[in-house]
Amino acid sequence: MESLLNEILMQCASYKQQGAVASYIPELAKADPEQFGICVVEADGTIHTAGQWQSVFTMQSIIKPVILLAALMDSGEERVRQLVGMEATGKPFDAFNYSDQALAAGHINPMINTGAIALCTLIQGATYEEKFRRLLDLTRELAGNDRLQVEESVFQSEKATGSKNRALAYLLKAYGMISDRVEDIIDCYFKACSIGANCADLARIARGLACHDHSSLQPAHARYVNATLMTCGMYDGSGEFALNVGIPAKSGVGGGIMGVVPGRMGIGVYSPALDKKGNSVAGIKAMELLSQRLNLSIF
């Protein structure tokens, strides 16, 4: 497996030049576009790695499946479905215009910013500091890494420049979908996105979702999360990813991709140069080749 992963990284190296690191969050603009790593964790826990798999990057939108899972665990599927829908929007992850009508649950999903911000309100906790601590604890447990922590410089950068996400939160409040103080919710969301991880952390989280055997995962919740990843996880590139790779996955503008191969393995990839949709260019290509070589598509 290691030789295959190294071969894939070599074959995909040129794709790093076809993207650009995220710059709308100033701290993310400091990422090295030459970084490229991959990790596969098999169903039995065997780990395979190649490249700069130990490099730490912020999870960004890859935390959204964990936010969804926490909301399902704490508030139940019925309450989650009252707040967010399941359908892909076909629009960028930070879009405002989901519908010509008033904003409602059916217009958003858990894998776009608006949906994830809304779901932060369903995590249990007397304060948003407590909600975030519980979310971080769940992330650490799923990743098998109690050292995961917020990358403070990225958090402060997001907090200082995240006007659009604040606007999305106020939009939710304007339509009566959330009622808590916006700054408390948005701080929780920014901290969540700023959790640092590496490829192995992502692959272990994905392996749990793939095998439904983690102590914190009810199979019904894992199926809910995986179905949402399949339809919405790669932003407005989810359909193309489903065709070319064929597995549930989540990307983040930090450059990571987390892939779930049901019953078989979890995958974590990192390459920070992104396409216009916010997905890692080399990371997607690596996932395509890995899927082809190992026949990973669920279709």
At residue 102, φ and ψ (nearest 5 deg) are -60, 145
Of 160, 193, 226, the one marking the end of a domain is: 193
What is the model's pLDDT at position 115?
A: 95
Burial class, 107, CB count within 10 angstroms (exposed 0-12 / middle 13-18 / buried 19+): buried
Q: Which one-letter amino acid corresponds to residue 5? A: L
Q: Residue 227 has what pLDDT?
A: 97
Which among 148, 174, 193 is the end of a domain? 193
**Domain membership flag for residue 299:** no
Mean pLDDT for the stretch of residues 122-148: 98
Q: Count CA atoms closer than 13 A to 39's CA, side-chain side.
A: 26
Q: Give the active site residues.
A: 61, 64, 189, 235, 253
191-247 per-position pLDDT tens digit: 999 999 999 999 999 999 999 988 888 999 999 999 999 999 998 899 999 999 999
Report the domain count for the chain.
2
Contact 168, 93 (CB under 8 A): no
236 is written with which tokens? 């407005």
The model's pTM? 0.95
The 10s digit of each residue's pLDDT in 171-188 is 999 999 999 999 999 999
CATH number, domain at 101? 3.40.710.10
> What pLDDT, in 10s, does the model give residues 136-184?
999 999 999 999 999 999 999 999 999 999 999 999 999 999 999 999 9
Q: How confident is the model at residue 275 (pLDDT cuts 50, 70, 90)?
A: very high
Q: How far apart are CA 149 and CA 165, in angstroms?
A: 22
Q: Which residues pair with 195 in a beta bridge?
A: 150
Are residues 53 and 112 located together in one domain of the fold?
A: no
